[in-house]
Amino acid sequence: MSFSKQKILLAVTGGIAAYKALELTRLLKKQGTDVRIIMTKSATAFVQPLSFQALSGHLVHCELLDTEAEHAMGHIELARWADVFVIAPATANTLAKCAHGLADDLLSTVYLATTCPVYVAPAMNHVMWNHPATQANLKILQNNGVNLIAPELGEQACGEVGFGRMAEPETICQRLISDLAMPKILKKLNVVITAGATREPLDPVRYLTNRSSGKMGYALVVAAQQVGANVTLISGMTYIQPPQNCHFIQVETAEQMHAVVFETIKNCDIFIGAAAVADYRPVQMRDEKIKKNADQITLILQKNPDILADVAALDSPPFTVGFAAETNDLAKYARDKLVRKKLNMIAANWVGREEGGFERDENALDVFWQDGQKTLAMTEKSELAKQLIALIAERFYTPH
């Protein structure tokens, strides 16, 4: 369905960010969507329902037990009418009620009664946002399939600085467009993606690792989800938030990643190895911290299993996509890995340069398969991931 045909139910709760929901309503209307508004009682203390009525072109729904409103479009009809339910801003109180199934007002009742995709854009003081109770409620909601549009860092209405400011209306609108308007080309397919760097411990305080931040792999998770895939993310240690609504498994070492991949690979349709897996690990992990007595020490390293090659060597392998990170002879090494590891595709990127590769927000890829290749130019990893997923889908559906 095109985005302009979407029926969007926007719920506004009681926070200072309620005024931003007016702009969100305007932006969504500008896209051609049909927008209906629910306001909680406290939201009406911040913004007049009349303002939303003028922008949306519909009466605003405020009461659960209002016979007139129920006659026009009651809570069950509203829940059934919506193609997507967006709560913006979502207060800590609303998140808690939805997480625990309380249904004591129109918003929370509609939340329980709807089966459409739900998005929450929280807004609150940063201490409230970081409170374990809020984070636990959010986890419950995400486990129940609710999509988070994360709050942003910045100065808050209380004058303090931190995470908790509602995402800008443009950001929310763009997120809805990119999630809802994309054709679901990988619908119901199981995709397993590895990302980030493995760590190979030397002793209780030290390890060998590499520069991978996980950004490329995590962007692929989001891009695959946007086109309908069920995604399992097996990640090394990173400092970034895992994408929402994927099956997330964190590992430390290459051997752990290998074991977890083989536990999850059974019903996998597409495997993408974006992780920077350590090729070698110390033969022995010392039980005690290595002391700096000698001027030189020797590390003896043992080769790690090759996860990607082992997946591709299965009797009935998934469509297997590898990455190649190279400092020289990119195409030569990538083609060699494609053939040697018996992959369906390989996405090669330069590393150690000023642009792209490890840690950067942008990247470029030269993608190779048995009888073809395509260059994906330097762009944001989020955008590049969409292009790579589209290419993978194209090759996946081409007899191979």
Restricting to residues 116-145, name those near ligand PMT by CB under 6 A.
Answer: none
324 scored as a contact of ligand PMT (CB under 6 A): yes
Q: Provide the mask over 32-71, with x wherever binding to ligand PMT is found by CB under 6 A and - wherever it is not.
A: ----------------------------------------
Indicate the residue among 319 and 323 with the shorter CB distance to ligand PMT: 323
175 scored as a contact of ligand PMT (CB under 6 A): no
338 scored as a contact of ligand PMT (CB under 6 A): no
Which one among 325, 338, 345, 376 touches ligand PMT, defined by CB under 6 A? Answer: 325
Distance of CA 362 to the CA centre of its chain: 17
Q: Catalytic pick from 158, 173, 246, 268?
A: 158
Q: Provide the mask over 245-284, with x wherever binding to ligand PMT is found by CB under 6 A and - wherever it is not.
A: ---------x------------------xxxxx-x-----
Indicate the residue among 122 and 217 with the shorter CB distance to ligand PMT: 217
Stretch that binds ligand PMT, among 30-38, 200-208, 212-220, 227-235 (CB under 6 A): 212-220
The closest of 270, 362, 368 to 323, measured between CA atoms, is 368
The closest of 218, 194, 195, 199 to 210, measured between CA atoms, is 199
User: What six digits make up the tokens of 390?
Assistant: 């589209």
The closest of 253, 274, 251 to 388, measured between CA atoms, is 274
Which one among 359, 370, 377, 400 touches ligand PMT, defined by CB under 6 A? Answer: 359
Tell me the C-alpha distance between 260 and 247, whole Å: 12
Q: Report helix angle 18-30 to 169-180, nearest 10.
A: 40
- 142 and 171 Cβ atoms separated by less than 8 Å: no
Are β-strands 152-155 and 247-250 bridged in parallel, bridged antiparallel, or unpaired? Answer: unpaired
Q: Identify the helix (H) or strand (E) that includes residue 167.
A: none
Indicate the residue among 46 and 262 with the shorter CB distance to ligand PMT: 262
Q: Report helix angle 381-397 to 215-226, nearest 10.
A: 60
Tell me the C-alpha distance between 187 and 179, whole Å: 13
- 28 and 5 Cβ atoms separated by less than 8 Å: no
107 scored as a contact of ligand PMT (CB under 6 A): no
The closest of 213, 209, 168 to 19, measured between CA atoms, is 168
Does residue 62 carry a catalytic annotation? no
Which one among 351, 376, 384, 388 touches ligand PMT, defined by CB under 6 A? Answer: 351
Indicate the residue among 93 and 253 with the shorter CB distance to ligand PMT: 253
Summarize as ranges the residues that interact with ligand PMT (CB under 6 A): 194, 212-217, 254, 273-277, 279, 304, 306-308, 322-325, 337, 349, 351, 357-359
Residues acting as catalytic residues: 158
